[in-house]
Amino acid sequence: MEHKESRRYQRLARNELGAAIGMGIGAMCSAMLRLPLTSTLLAVLLMGADGVIVTPEALVAGAIAFVISNVLPVPGPKTPESPSPYRSDARGGNEAACVSSSAT
């Protein structure tokens, strides 16, 4: 009897691990690629036989990662706006800021 119990717990533990792996793959790909449904499909296909079982978890994790990655600000230092490539002319017109030098 104990042998059957240990097999059942092993099967449950394997399904929980499979769900965690599927959710991780779906969330990571969704946050990086910004394609949540494609990321879920990728996670399901990579999971093989457990893919059908973990589809709902991978879909939810991918959707949450997609929403969070769109809500969070872009990381990095905030830089001031770069100057315009055109400068204002004294006559009111705009001319290119690039000055060409003629070497003859």
> How confident is the prediction along the chain (104 residues), in pLDDT tens digits per residue?
556 666 655 655 556 888 899 999 999 999 999 999 999 999 999 999 888 888 999 999 999 999 999 998 877 777 766 666 665 555 555 555 555 555 55
pTM of the model as a whole: 0.59
- Predicted local confidence at residue 95, as pLDDT: 52
Write the burial class of residue 12 (CB in 10 Å: 0-12 exposed, 13-18 middle, 19+ buried). Answer: exposed
The residues, any chain, with a CB within 8 Å of residue 15's CB and separated by 6 or more, are 50, 53
- Predicted local confidence at residue 21, as pLDDT: 92
Domain borders along the chain are: 2-74
